[in-house]
Amino acid sequence: MHQPTLRNKLRLTYQDKSNCHSFERNGAEMIHMDYSNENSLAQAMRGVQHVVLVIGFETERVEMCKKMIQRAHKSGVKSMIMVSHMGAMSSTHHSLKEFSEIEEELFSTDMDTVILRADWINQNFHLWSNYIEKHRKLPMTISDDTHICPIDLEDLCHIVQNVLLSDEGYIRGELDDQHIGQIYTLTGPKRVSGKELLQLLADTTGYQKLTYHRTRRMDLSFYLQELGKDIWFDARVKREKAQIFNDDFVNYGYKSKVFSAPNGIQVQTYLDYFDYIQANQGSMHTPHAELLAKRPCKTLDQFFKEHANTFKPRV
């Protein structure tokens, strides 16, 4: 969407249009998707060469993604780029195994495929800002010596763009052979422990009395599930929805938005991710993101510096 000449070649599907008006105003074709209606699926795939499927947090995401993949295959779509989750390798966490189940459905087709398994995304921390502002604590279910290796949303989007577009900026007729069939694990440039994460927050906000709070799974779940009822958070969502409506896609404004309160599947996925990395001695850095982005990726330090005011405790 950051290349105006390509916007009229994009087709986006949606179920809730409230966050999509800016796409339509900027030239993208918008189609409402009814996953229970085969005609709706067929219409969405008509004339499409490549599909970018981002696995989200819908309650029926496995069934929905499988239907999308099956319809794309039937409609003659050449290739599919799937944004999955590095936790798809887990054999014990239900919400993470769902990513693997969707990946397996894609493998069963003869479409050209590229799977991008993203680690924790920096922008997820926007959901923690409300707690840090109020309580001056960073609540996590992992120990403070467990490492995460988060990637920035801007870099993830840039990687998808690089896989899909030629060096000249045109949509590829076919994906690059070197990427077809590959599974990439996308991490940020640096591993960060809980202690280091806390220090980054303290340095960027200027508030050195922040504390790291290893909390119970049920307590963090309760905070995230109840976040939508908080008046400060609700006011932020409403304010940012107005900004989203007027977004012109020039300055990557989406990176600063919280969009909405997390639903149950989203919370479960976050908590299962923390359990997964705690059991596997943390996330490990891979060079895939830098190679695909063809540039240095943003650090968590840069993310907190860009959004320092959001995380400052109220005094």
Q: Does 234 have pLDDT greater than 70?
A: yes
Instruction: Please compute the mean of the pLDDT values over residues 241-270 and round it to a whole number.
Output: 82
Instruction: Please compute the mean of the pLDDT values over residues 281-305 and round it to a whole number.
Output: 95
Looking at residue 149, what is its pLDDT? Answer: 97
Looking at residue 18, what is its pLDDT? Answer: 75
Looking at residue 198, what is its pLDDT? Answer: 96
CATH tag for 33-118+152-186 (out of 3.30.950.10, 3.40.50.720, 3.50.50.60, 1.10.1660.10): 3.40.50.720
Looking at residue 1, what is its pLDDT? Answer: 46
CATH tag for 121-150+189-283+295-315 (out of 3.90.25, 1.20.120, 1.10.260, 3.40.50): 3.90.25
Instruction: List the chain domain ranges.
Output: 33-118+152-186, 121-150+189-283+295-315
Per-residue pLDDT tens over the stretch 32-65: 999 999 999 999 999 999 999 999 999 999 999 9
Q: Does 105 have pLDDT greater than 90?
A: yes
Per-residue pLDDT tens over the stretch 176-218: 999 999 999 999 999 999 999 999 999 999 999 999 999 999 9
Query: What percentage of the chain has pLDDT greater than the value 70?
Result: 97
- Domain 33-118+152-186 and domain 121-150+189-283+295-315, same fold? Reply is no
Which amino acid type is present at position 181? G
Structure token digits, residue 3: 């290349």
